[in-house]
């Protein structure tokens, strides 16, 4: 375990990681699994909606904004319309998100993000 991952506190929770880059998904998943979180993966918003419609109820959603099929901005809009319970959504992107996305998400992480920032953010919500 690196010094950066030591800053994460072990806590159980389920996190849905919606990210089209397999490398980014694997890194985020590996770090958060080491910290005791259960991780669900989706490579785009359409797959994420299927996961949520199947009855999965994550404590937190980590959402990439730029993806094929159903991007993060459209996923977030649909998710907020359909979801009567508030599940925190942290958006992630290399670019600046639209104002509408900032209003709908709980927090924004700029890519590339450092592991300490990721862990601290997850700890606040999951």
What residue ranges in 1-126 does DSSP mark as E strands?
A: 14-18, 38-42, 60-64, 89-93, 107-110
Number of domains composing the chain: 1
How does pLDDT run across 12-23, given as a tens digit for each residue?
799 999 999 999
Q: Would you say residue 119 lies in a domain?
A: no
**Pairing assessment for the beta strands 14-18 and 107-110 based on DSSP bridges:** unpaired
Average pLDDT over residues 111-126: 91
Q: Is the pLDDT of residue 7 over 80?
A: no
Say if CB 86 and CB 58 are below 8 A apart.
no
Q: Would you say residue 87 lies in a domain?
A: yes
Query: What is the per-residue pLDDT for 4?
Result: 47
Q: Would you say residue 109 lies in a domain?
A: yes
Q: Would you say residue 96 lies in a domain?
A: yes
Average pLDDT over residues 64-85: 89
Q: Would you say residue 78 lies in a domain?
A: yes
Average pLDDT over residues 15-41: 95
**Residue 108 carries which DSSP code?**
E
CATH of the domain at 20: 3.40.50.2300
Question: What range does the domain containing 61 cover?
Answer: 12-114
Query: What is the per-residue pLDDT for 36?
Result: 92
Q: Would you say residue 6 lies in a domain?
A: no
Q: Would you say residue 29 lies in a domain?
A: yes
Query: What is the per-residue pLDDT for 1?
Result: 46
Query: What is the per-residue pLDDT for 84?
Result: 60
Q: pLDDT higher for 8 or 120? A: 120
């Amino acid at each position: 375990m690196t010094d950066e991952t030591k800053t994460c506190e072990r806590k159980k929770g389920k996190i849905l990681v919606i990210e089209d880059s397999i490398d980014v998904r694997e890194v985020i998943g590996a770090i958060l699994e080491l910290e005791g979180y259960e991780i669900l993966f989706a490579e785009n918003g359409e797959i994420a909606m299927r996961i949520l419609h199947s009855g999965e109820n994550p404590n937190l959603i980590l959402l990439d904004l730029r993806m094929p099929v159903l991007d993060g901005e459209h996923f977030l809009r649909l998710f907020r319309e359909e979801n009567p319970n508030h599940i925190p959504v942290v958006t992630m992107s290399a670019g600046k998100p639209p104002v509408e996305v900032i209003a709908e998400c709980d927090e924004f992480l700029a890519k590339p993000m450092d592991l300490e920032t990721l862990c601290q953010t997850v700890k606040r919500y999951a």
